[in-house]
Amino acid sequence: MSNKSKNRTKQAQKPNAPLKAIQACAGASPAASSLNPAFDQVAGRRPSLKLERNDAMKTMNHLTMSTGQNRVSPRSEVQQDSMKILTPWMLNALADGKPTPLPYPLGEKGFHAHLSVDAGALFCTLFGSKTLPLLTFGVAIDEAQSNVLWGRMCKEDGVGKGLTKPAAPLCAVTLHTGFTTCLDVDMWFWAGDFEQCVAWAFIEKMK
């Protein structure tokens, strides 16, 4: 389980559990996490302000604006099987322009997401039902997009006060009230991986 998931669910005092949902979407073995053991070595590492778009396919800043926690997310953490599932799902959701069920089995449990693009940046809101927003994350490939992303999320979600915007490429997340009240507590554990996988799918499709 990722440090991001641990930190988000610390108050729940739930024992550590493997991240199975995203793996199930891609048909991966439950024993094979989409986050490799190197995660602990990079978690909490300060991002390089000199990170340029040429390096975008190697690492990404993954910031939870609601908590101020940031980590460097290597592309190598995401399994290709997950990308094969989530890339077409992402494109279909953007084309539909309406809440779209997540890939099986998450969609059958009621999880939907609404995706849109604003000034080149991706925005995705995850719902536990069609009316219960759980979290919103934005993905920016370059600094121009990240400025749009940062301004919109700070304004709409009321977060980011006191935070310094990390360098692009960036996945920035805000947690809504529904995140902590959602009865499906497994979501607390796979949500971070979902954000990461969709972010990398967008970066690689739009580069």
The predicted-structure confidence for 74-91, as pLDDT tens digits, reads as follows: 999 999 999 999 999 999
Provide the pLDDT for residue 57. Answer: 61
Average pLDDT over all residues of the chain: 76
pLDDT in tens, 108-151: 999 999 999 999 999 999 999 767 899 999 999 999 999 999 99
* Top-ranked range on mean pLDDT: pick from 63-67, 103-107, 122-126, 130-134: 122-126
Query: Residue length, the chain?
Result: 207
- For residues 195-201, give the mean pLDDT: 96
- Does the pLDDT value for residue 22 go beyond 80? no
Judge if the upstream peptide bond of residue 18 is cis by omega within 30 degrees of 0: no
- Give the span between the Cα atoms of 93 and 99, in whole angstroms: 7
Please give the pLDDT value at position 123: 97
Long-range contacts of 54-59 (CB under 8 A, 24+ apart): 56/141, 56/142, 56/168, 56/169, 56/203, 56/207, 57/203, 57/204, 57/207, 59/169
135: β partners: 126, 175
